[in-house]
Structure 1
Amino acid sequence: MDHSAHVRLTANELTPDVLEDATIYGPDDEKIGSVSHTHGTGAGTQVVIDVGGFLGVGAKPVSVPASQLDFMRDEDGDVHAVTSWTKDELKRMPEHHDA
Structure 2
Amino acid sequence: MDHSKHARLSATELNAGVLEGATIYGPGDEKIGSVSHIHGVGPATQVVVDVGGFLGIGAKPVSVALDQLEFMRDEDGDVHAVTSWTKDQLKEMPEHVDP
The TM tier, using the shorter chain, reads over 0.9
**Is residue 47–residue 64 contact of structure 1 (8 Å, CA) maintained in 2?**
yes
Corresponding residue pairs, total? 99
CA RMSD in angstroms comes to 0.7
* Runs of at least 5 residues in structure 2 that lack an aligned partner in the other structure: none
Letter in 2 for 1:75: E
One-letter identity of the residue aligned with 1:41 = V
For the residues of structure 2 that align with 1:94 and 1:41, how far apart are their CA atoms? 22
Equivalent-residue separation in structure 2 for 1:63 and 1:81 (angstroms): 15
**Structure 2: distance between partners of 1:82 and 1:96:** 20
Q: Give the match for residue 93 of structure 1.
A: 93
Distance in 1, matches of 2:8 and 2:44, equals 17
Answering whether residue 16 of structure 2 is matched by residue 19 of structure 1, we say no
Q: Deviations over 1:26-49 (max 9, x none)?
A: 000000000000001133211000
SS at match of 1:63: strand
Structure 1 runs (4+) greater than 2 angstroms displaced: none
Output the amino acid matched with 1:19.
L
Percent identical among aligned pairs is: 77
Runs (5+) with no aligned partner, structure 1: none
Aligned equivalent of 1:55: 55
Q: Is the 8 A contact 1:11 1:43 kept in 2?
A: no
Q: Contact between 1:60 and 1:95, CA under 8 Å: does it hold in 2? A: yes
Normalised by the length of structure 2, the TM-score is 0.97
TM-score by length of 1: 0.97
